[in-house]
Amino acid sequence: MTNKAVMEALDGLPPVKVHCSLLAEEAIHAALWDYAQKNGIKIEGLKKPKSDIHEGEEDEEEEY
């Protein structure tokens, strides 16, 4: 499940709401991980979800 699939299923989203599709993707991923961990199931290709939605992003400095 990707954020693009979420947007397509909803027949698109206004630009200011695209971040909601990213949140949905992360939530589904985390729910699958949690279910698999609690039930001793291995889902091929499923990796541990980020603990922070910004994890792995480079720090971007804002210029004033």
How far apart (Å, rounded) are the C-alpha atoms in residues 61 and 54?
A: 14
pLDDT value, residue 51: 74
- What is the structure's pLDDT at 13? 85
Torsion of CA 4, 52, 43, 3, to 10 degrees: 0
Q: pLDDT tens across 7-47, in order?
A: 888 888 888 988 888 888 889 999 999 999 999 999 898 88
Q: Please say if the pLDDT value at position 62 is more than 50.
A: no
Question: For residue 52, what pLDDT is reported?
Answer: 62
Q: What residues have CB less than 8 Å from 39, skipping those under 6 apart?
A: none
* Residue 64 clears pLDDT 60, i.e. is over it: no
